């Protein structure tokens, strides 16, 4: 009996708390799944690096909506990145899923990313993991508390530490330590 998806109350909290607590949880899409090992927090009106900084637009509107939904956007003409919407309805906030440890459906992932050499390279970046799990803009706005795209906790508790560093690939607020990594003891 697999674990139930995290409830909406998990996401209806400050973005940094959610970003740290997502480490170790399982991202499931269809028959593929991976353990979340790297996240980044993107705040709302105070965070110049956030898509939500200049207010709602057609692209970022789900960041302003209810928590526990997916915000998937297209970047660099090629890639899609998946976020989890946080905070209460009406307040922008999201956590970018930056890396996973492949757990299930690894053959499917290999088929989708035939150039990945090592197994961990299948999902070792925000653009890679969406390809490996088959996540696209069609999942933008998807409810993470039910449906094919969910985030259950692990079946067995896991011992790990959390490392925090500056976020990657941004220019504004480049020194804020809002990137979180799962480190095994």
Between the alpha carbon of residue 52 and those of residues 7, 56, 63, 105, 180, the distances in Å are 24, 6, 7, 34, 20
| Stretch of 2-10, 20-28, 158-166, 167-175 contacting DNA, by CB under 7 A | 167-175
| Stretch of 11-19, 26-34, 43-51, 175-183 contacting DNA, by CB under 7 A | 43-51
Q: Which of 4, 75, 158, 174 binds DNA (CB under 7 A)?
A: 75
Neighbours of 7 (CB within 10 A): 10
**Given the DSSP bridges, would you call strands 32-42 and 179-183 parallel, antiparallel or unpaired?**
antiparallel
For the bound state, the minimum distance from the C-beta of residue 1 to DNA, rounded and expressed in Å, comes to 33
For the bound state, the minimum distance from the C-beta of residue 157 to DNA, rounded and expressed in Å, comes to 28
Which contiguous run of DSSP H or E holds residue 183? strand 179-183
Q: Which of 15, 32, 83, 86 binds DNA (CB under 7 A)?
A: 83
Q: Which of 12, 37, 94, 182 binds DNA (CB under 7 A)?
A: 94
Closest CA to 68 of 48, 49, 43, 87: 87
Smaller CB separation from DNA, 156 or 171: 171
For the bound state, the minimum distance from the C-beta of residue 2 to DNA, rounded and expressed in Å, comes to 27
Rounded to an integer, what distance in angstroms lies between the CA atom of residue 3 and that of residue 169?
Answer: 34
Which contiguous run of DSSP H or E holds residue 104? strand 94-104
For residue 170, the SS3 value is coil
Neighbours of 165 (CB within 10 A): 12
For the bound state, the minimum distance from the C-beta of residue 151 to DNA, rounded and expressed in Å, comes to 16
Smaller CB separation from DNA, 101 or 121: 121
- Residues near DNA (CB under 7 A): 40, 42, 49-52, 54, 57-60, 63, 71, 74-79, 81, 83, 94, 96, 113, 115-116, 121, 125-129, 167-171
């Amino acid at each position: 009996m697999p674990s139930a998806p995290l409830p909406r109350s998990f996401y209806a909290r400050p973005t940094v708390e959610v970003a740290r607590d997502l480490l170790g949880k399982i991202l499931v899409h269809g028959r593929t799944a991976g353990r979340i090992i790297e996240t980044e927090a993107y705040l709302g009106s105070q965070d110049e690096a956030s898509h939500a900084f200049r207010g709602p637009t057609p692209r970022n509107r789900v960041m302003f909506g209810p928590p526990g939904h997916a915000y998937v956007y297209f970047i660099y003409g090629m890639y899609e990145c998946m976020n989890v919407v946080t905070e209460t309805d009406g307040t922008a906030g999201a956590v970018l899923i930056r890396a996973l440890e492949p757990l299930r459906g690894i053959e499917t992932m290999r088929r989708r990313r035939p150039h990945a050499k090592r197994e961990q390279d299948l999902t070792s970046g925000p653009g890679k993991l969406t390809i490996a799990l088959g996540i696209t803009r069609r999942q933008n706005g998807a409810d993470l508390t039910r449906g094919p795209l969910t985030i259950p906790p692990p079946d067995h508790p896991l011992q790990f530490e959390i490392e925090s560093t500056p976020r990657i690939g941004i220019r504004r607020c480049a020194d804020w330590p809002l990137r979180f990594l799962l480190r095994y003891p």
